[in-house]
Amino acid sequence: MAFLFAVIFSGAVFAQRPAQGPVSDKIYKPEELGYKLVWQDEFEGKALDTTKWKVRGIGPRAIAYVSPRAVKVEDGFLKLYALNENDTLFGSAVGTQGLFMSKYGWYECRAQVQKSPAGVWAAFWIQSTDIAKGEDPAVYGAEIDIMECFRKLGPDMVSHNVHWAYGPNQQSTHGYQSYLKGLGEGFHTFALEWFPDKYIFYIDGYKFYEITQGISNIEEYMILSMEYPGKLEEIAKSVFPDVFLVDYVRVYQK
């Protein structure tokens, strides 16, 4: 594996940031860092556990509709679909709002990203209920994008981002791109370590970025989703049905 790796991709990637590989060869595990498991879902049942998750944002979103019909739990996985049924597009999202809210710690999912080479994308993120109420992320929180898989940027890349101060003065770190060979195939872990003064992003236990902007100091909730872009032409290369497969979600705290 090539560490401290930067890859020259297309100009579209540079508009975000050049992709980077892991910054060291050490594999970090939350238990070894002093964390204890405080919340988990292994998706072992036959339906979404509504004591832990709710289908989030049912209704129009971008060019699609978020619908419970695109959310399934079976075979030990949460399956978040992108569907095209008779030219009606369905997306999917589940969240822990009102069920599990927390701050700081280690947030991890093991998942397989979507197959479409462009268009729809898988996402694992954390959101604040107060993000539109003010501009100080410490007080009003932030959107912390632990992982978004925009495969148009490259088959083995994911993006991390932080947004805060929703409204006319919204701010963002802009995308941090991570490259890891084989990331677009099979299952991988995506994790955030959240401190009072920084975020650290991990893939398969490897550290990729430390970010000190937009730090939230309030409790927030988790979201898993299959997202759509804003224009129909952007899904020309999407393959339907497509699915974001989640094996587990675990939260650890000290």
Rounded Cα distance between 50 and 33, Å, is 31
Q: Is 157 helix (H, G, I), strand (E, B) or coil?
A: strand
pTM: 0.93
Rounded Cα distance between 250 and 146, Å, is 13
Is residue 27 in a domain? no
CATH code of the domain in which 62 resides: 2.60.120.200
CA distances from residue 22 to 150, 169, 200, 203 in whole angstroms, order as listed: 18, 32, 12, 8
Is residue 153 in a domain? yes
Is residue 16 in a domain? no
The pLDDT tens digits for 30-85 are 999 999 999 999 999 999 999 999 999 999 999 999 999 999 999 999 999 999 99
| Nearest alpha-carbon partner for 211 in 193, 223, 224 | 193
| Nearest alpha-carbon partner for 118 in 214, 229, 9 | 229
Is residue 6 in a domain? no
Is residue 4 in a domain? no
For residues 143 and 125, the answer to whether their CB atoms sit within 8 Å is: yes
**Residues spanned by the domain of 181:** 36-253
For residue 156, what are its two tokens?
Answer: 């083995």
Sign of torsion over alpha carbons 7, 183, 162, 21 = negative
Is residue 133 in a domain? yes
Is residue 2 in a domain? no
The pLDDT tens digits for 105-160 are 999 999 999 999 999 999 999 999 999 999 999 999 999 999 999 999 999 999 99
Pairing of strands 88-95, 64-66: parallel
